[in-house]
Every structure is written in structure tokens, then in C-alpha cells.
Structure 1
């Protein structure tokens, strides 16, 4: 399943490590070309008190898009996991994925109010996957065209009432008891959905 090239950014409290990975598809349109690792980290939720949620709970928040401010309904539906063997097969150096598995967060975004979206969305920019309170390692150029995942770069003319499910791919510890999906609207208030982890 995980075959074409992508890049991994390991996000840790004191270091950012860029690696070359292999996986299927990617935000480059699935060409399989290796994607350069970015030094720009996804924004982390602020340190204000977060709202705790469970699978399927929906929240609303405003996101600034190119066409103006859009209100989205957001719901983390599930987090699925691969195996440690798959994670090791994904990275150039298997040692870098030792003790880790791939975690895929399926998050549904619903356009609730505001202008029609005419370009790729920013709604998923602040969505991250954590494990037992620690942020995971994001897979850049991840296979957004996997089953059940819409590619945000392919979404056009997104109007009120329409929903799309966007998936985030991360590496997290194989023994994690909890997996958390974090999302922050532009006001900075974080929402956190908690799911059983791969080690639960």
C-alpha cells in the first residue's frame, strides 16, 4: 500500500528531522516525486483550555480563506493505524520508524456559512495528530487519495452544506494508549478528539 515517495517531518520538542519516505499517492497529484521537507511547522493548538470531544462530535469554527471567512463544522470521525512493519517500510532508514506506526485521522469538514470556496481549503491546516499528549510526526505529501479521503487540492466550488473528509497521516508510538486529533479555528481555541491508541 505504501509505495510512492513522500517526505517525513519529525516534530519533537527540541528538534525537527527531515527524512525521505515512500508512500502511495500524495498532494503532488500522485506523481510519486519526492517532496522536499518543509521547515514550516503546522500551527499547534494554543495553551488555552481545550474542548474534549469523542468520535463524531462536531464543532464549528471560522477559517480565513482566499475568498473570505468561512464557518466550518468539523468532526473527527476515526483514527486508523498501520503496523510497525509498514512504518519501517515507509522510511528510508527503518530505524527512524522503530516502535512507531502510521496513524490516519479522518476528519470531516462541512461548509456552514460564508462565500463559496474556489481554491484549496485552509480548514485542515491546523489539524494535527497526537499520541498520549505528544505531537506525532507528520507525513508530508501524504496519500490523500486513499479510500475515504478527499484530496483538499482537488476540492473546488465548495458551497454551503457540502462536506468533505480530509485525512492527516502521522507516525506515532506503537504503544500509545490514546490518539488525539487536534483542530483550531482562527480564534485559536483548540478542540481535541480522543480515540483508543494502537497500544490500547
Structure 2
């Protein structure tokens, strides 16, 4: 049977201006034990060193493609996304991933047991509208971003505060013009001690998403 682990959001030292309520969807697991939409955090063992207070940032790295074709932090890739006003092409660059502590994760949920062994990872992703026209209404392009830890997809934290330093709230973006850029963040819960982080982005209909690799997360 499918199950969903849902918890409520409270204020934390890192996310000081918390939203009133947030929902953490840790996993939607099919009866055969596989995630119906991809693997989820918390379903594997906690290995490696703790990633507490780690920050995986781009710094001044050159925009080069890794040998396996995966994008490096800060490098741009291009792809289409279906918005309410039609298909829009975006230039997308995952800039950094901030990883918090297990104590912070426990403070973010109503029942600390729901965050046992987990930490919150926030991806900072820069999107540039490349046309063909203005994106009117609420842009949904950030919904295409996911965080993977050691090859497994994390659990999306819904309703996370969007006024983190350097993060923009899509609700405040009106009439997204061509060549205009915005940095929008997504937060996922991942197992503490994860070593290799990846940010994936793409429209749900895309066969191959863009992938950025952030090695040595902790």
C-alpha cells in the first residue's frame, strides 16, 4: 500500500521567517517497495560523515561539463518548461546547495521523530527566461528542481519559507520578461551523512533532465 509521511513546519534558527504551515512528503512508496516517482530520502542507511552545516557552493568554478556529461555547479543548461502561458525555454544553473543540521531539521517539524536521521538541503537555482515571450502569472519552473543524495531523491519540503537570503518567492515575480533572471530555491530532506548531492531539473515530460553534481557534501 502507498503511504505518505506528512509533518508540520515550525520555526527554526536557520529559517527565521517561517511559513505558518509546511508539509514534508518524505516518501510515496509503492507496494513493491519502490518509489512510484523515484527513490526518496530516508529509505536507505545513514552512511558517511555528517553533513551538518555544510555548504556546497560554486565559488569561482569555471563553467565546464564533467567527464560524464553532468553539469558542474554554476554551469548553465537550457531546456523547455510548460508554463500556464505556454512552453517557455529557460537557461538554468544550479548554483549551490546548503545543507543544514539534524537539530535544525527536528526543529522544522512538529514531531522531531519525523526528522530523525535527516537534514534539510536547499538548492539555489538561477532561471533565465529565453522566450519566446513573457511568462505571465505564477511561474512554475522551479517545480522541476529536485535534490538527490547519494543517488536517491530527497523528500520535498512544501511551504518552506522563501525569504532565505538570495532566494526569491515566485509569487512576487510578475510578467517574467525575456532575458530576465531569478534565483528560486527548493528544499528537500535528505539522509544525514550524504556525500554526493545532485540537483536535477526538467519538465515532467522531459526524457533526460539537466543534472548538476555537487561532490563531497559534508
TM-score bucket of the superposed structures, by smaller chain: 0.7 to 0.9
The count of corresponding residues between Structure 1 and Structure 2 is 176
* Structure 1 position 34, deviation (Å): 2.2
| Alignment partners' CA distance in 2, 1:102 and 1:191 | 22
For the structure 1 residues 36 and 176, does the alpha-carbon distance in structure 2 shift closer, same or farther, using more than 3 Å as the test? closer
Aligned to 1:83: 101
Q: Calculate the aligned-residue CA RMSD, in Å.
A: 2.7
Is residue 2:100 matched to residue 1:112? no
Match for residue 149 of structure 1 among 151, 167, 170 = 167
Aligned to 2:177: 159
- Is the CA contact 1:68–1:115 (under 8 Å) kept in the aligned structure 2? no
| Alignment partners' CA distance in 1, 2:132 and 2:196 | 35
Instruction: Say which one has the larger Rg.
Output: 2
* Structure 1 position 174, deviation (Å): 1.5
Cα offsets for 1:44-93 (capped at 9, x unmatched): 58xxxx95111011111111212222110000000011111111111111
* Structure 1 position 110, deviation (Å): 0.2
* Structure 1 position 161, deviation (Å): 0.8
- Is the CA contact 1:69–1:115 (under 8 Å) kept in the aligned structure 2? no
Aligned to 2:32: none
* Structure 1 position 33, deviation (Å): 2.8
The 5 Å alignment of 1:1-200 reads 15-23=3-11, 32-35=19-22, 52-185=70-203, 186-199=205-218
Cα offsets for 1:110-144 (capped at 9, x unmatched): 00111201111121112111100111111110111
The answer for unaligned runs of 5 or more in structure 2 is: 29-35, 39-67
Structure 2-normalised TM-score? Answer: 0.72
SS for the counterpart of 2:93 is strand
For the structure 1 residues 99 and 20, does the alpha-carbon distance in structure 2 shift closer, same or farther, using more than 3 Å as the test? same
The answer for unaligned runs of 5 or more in structure 1 is: 1-13, 25-29
SS for the counterpart of 1:147 is coil
| Alignment partners' CA distance in 1, 2:197 and 2:153 | 10
